[in-house]
Structure 1
Amino acid sequence: MVWMQYTATRSQRAATACFFLTGVALIVAAARLSYANIEPQRAKAAERRRVLEAFIRRKLGSDSQEQGPPPPKP
């Protein structure tokens, strides 16, 4: 079985090269945008974590340090 039965013409090779370079350029642009947005995403995640930890501390109060029974609810 022959992979290609005919050789590509000059215009076909040029089109293939253009498509390949366009794909590479799109991948590079996406990677650049992805790395540019990492720090804001990390900052948001850190803020969410701080808020969640504060919420848990507020809910647990001093019970997290004592091993006694939980206070009764009214």
Structure 2
Amino acid sequence: MSEQSIVQFTQKQKTTALVIGGTLGALVGLAGAYLLAQNAERDQKPVNISPGEGVKLAVLVLGLLRSIATLHE
């Protein structure tokens, strides 16, 4: 059995990670909204996301979060 070292983040590291993660999340969200709006303008159709598409997006986002959570393992 191997020993695992316990690594703890300092408060400053946690704050930095949250600020960077929040900023990146906001930028990705803005980029997604921009692309959605551009497609709607180009096609001259209103944005209409079905419940099925919403569920697909939610599953994709949860999968991404799970991958990020297990990145350090």
In the superposition, the TM-score normalised over structure 2's length comes to 0.48
Higher Cα Rg, which structure: 1
After TM superposition, the score normalised by the length of structure 1 is 0.48
Higher RCO (CA 8 Å, separation ≥ 6 residues): 2
